[in-house]
Amino acid sequence: MAERKIVDGRGSFCPGPLMELIVALKSSQIGDELEVLSTDKGSVNDIPEWLNKVGHAYISTTEAEGVWHIALRKSK
Amino acid sequence: MKILIIGGGMGGTILANNLARRLTNEMKSGKARITMLSASDKHMYQPGLLYLALGRITPDELYRDQASLLEAGINFHVDPVTDFMLDNNQVKTKSGKIFDYDILVIATGSRMFPEGIPGMTEGSETFYTEESAVKMLKRLQSFEGGKVVISVGVPHKCPMAPLEITFMLHDYFKDRGMSDKVQLHYTYPIGRVHSLENVAKWAAPEMDKLGITYETFFNTKEVDVENKILRSEEGFEVKYDLLINIPAHKGMEVLEKNGLGANGWIPTNRTKLNMEGRTNVFVCGDTTNIPISKAGSTAHFEADTLGENIAAMVKMGIPVREYDGKVFCFIEAGKDRATYAMFNYLTPPDPKAPTKAVHWFKMAYNKLYWVSARGLL
């Protein structure tokens, strides 16, 4: 499996982790896996909700030392 | 020590002046030398473009001669860099000259990139250049009514611009007696009307009060210019009569060509502001890949940090402080009222209700900017 691309949105209130992810997806290929790092707990709901709306594959969410790691695959 | 600053925008200019004052003695004795390379002999106050698009200021108010803003002793050249030879501590310019440095600061800013969305350039108005802002003003003056849709590209410059242009357009059409003929419709890429949660909490009821409709989770995919339809990545459509675009941005092409960062954004340490992997190369303003606002205040506060640190490196060999992610943004909430948002990496903003006082402070700042660029404010 190719290495996951890290989208480091830690400490970002504006534009925020989801916006950082949207930017990162624009320069990714279909099938690429990405992992968003966020210190904003809202990302735990916001990001999977947006992935579902757009049609990208949500993989998992884990938390370690106050940082949420949200993994996904670009699907379209 | 040779300090080379690439870029004569807000960040580069404030930094150069800050350093020149901190290093007056070192510059006189020849221990320090500051050189700035820029692509233009003019300095533009970019936040003024918003007002230009609405006929509130004229183009000449946006500019000053770059040389007139710089402290004595700063070597200024209009000669953009074409090649970065970081392993040799050198850059090469368009004229073919080679500049050596001990410390390099890259502050080349960003450029709008509407062409990333099919149909956007032909189908929309925007205000991120003098030419486009004047074109938008002419289009607004001839607009007779209909649905005005605001599209927001990602990433964009100035996080408050989508809200500001929406609220200011509301008052613009109201003043022209067109409120009953115009429907403002705001779209936004994420699940609320602004990326800052507290700003969104303030702005959404404000829009409700003014009759501005909005649609979230809307990432524009394409513009059907012929049928005047905006389509989103999420699979939705919006018809428009006038489309206003907050364009997506990229870093400068020369940075991409030199392999310094994807899309022209340079990987940057978020507190030390050095380019990742380089101890004598620093990045300031829009050019960084730090996940914070691409705003003038970001460049300003980063320049303040770099000014202290680089001066300390010249004097003591070590930097003395870290950048805490500070950003301050005015938010125009119409033609004569405004609020503001201030935040950093750890503290979210808490905008208050808009007031006339904050608006007039913003109007004053539009003039005071030239003092700010000189590093005095």
Catalytic, out of A14, A26, A27, A76: A14
Would the CB atoms of B217 and A11 count as touching at under 8 Å? no
Bridge partner residues of B344 (DSSP):
none
Q: Where are the domains of chain A?
A: 5-73
In chain B, residues with a C-beta closer than 8 Å to the C-beta of A50 are 190-191, 217
What was the ipTM of the complex prediction? 0.86
Six-digit token pair at B248?
């997506």
Mind listing the domains of chain B with CATH numbers?
2-109+252-326 (3.50.50.60), 113-248 (3.50.50.60)
Would the CB atoms of B191 and A49 count as touching at under 8 Å? yes
β pairing state of B338-343 and B2-6: unpaired
CATH topology of domain A5-73: Translation Initiation Factor IF3 (3.30.110)
Bridge partner residues of B222 (DSSP):
B231
Q: Is B219 on the interface with A (CB under 8 A)?
A: yes
Would the CB atoms of B190 and A13 count as touching at under 8 Å? no
Using the predicted structure, report yes or no on whether residue B375 has a pLDDT greater than 90.
no
Mutate to test the interface with B, among A5, A6, A7, A14 (most CBs of B within 10 A): A14
For the residues B56-83, what does the mean pLDDT come to? Answer: 97
In chain B, residues with a C-beta closer than 8 Å to the C-beta of A56 are none
Q: Is B195 on the interface with A (CB under 8 A)?
A: yes
In chain A, residues with a C-beta closer than 8 Å to the C-beta of B219 are 22, 54
Could you read off the pLDDT of B83-132 as tens digits, one per residue? 999 999 999 999 999 999 999 999 999 999 999 999 999 999 999 999 99
Could you read off the pLDDT of B272-286 as tens digits, one per residue? 999 999 999 999 999
3-state secondary structure B94-124: CCCCEEECCEEEECCCEEECHHHCCCHHHHC
- Note which residues in 44-103 of chain B have CB less than 8 A from chain A: none
Q: Is B193 on the interface with A (CB under 8 A)?
A: no
In chain B, residues with a C-beta closer than 8 Å to the C-beta of A38 are none
As a whole number of angstroms, the distance between CA A8 and CA B124 comes to 32
Could you read off the pLDDT of A26-64 as tens digits, one per residue? 889 999 999 999 998 889 999 999 999 999 999 999 999
Would the CB atoms of B195 and A19 count as touching at under 8 Å? yes
Mutate to test the interface with A, among B158, B193, B233 (most CBs of A within 10 A): B233
Quick check: is A14 catalytic?
yes
Using the predicted structure, report yes or no on whether residue A1 has a pLDDT greater than 60.
no
Write the CA distances from B102 to A21, A65, B3, B293, B349, integer angstroms: 36, 38, 6, 29, 38
Verdict on whether the full-model pTM lies above 0.80 = yes
Indicate the average pLDDT of chain B. 96
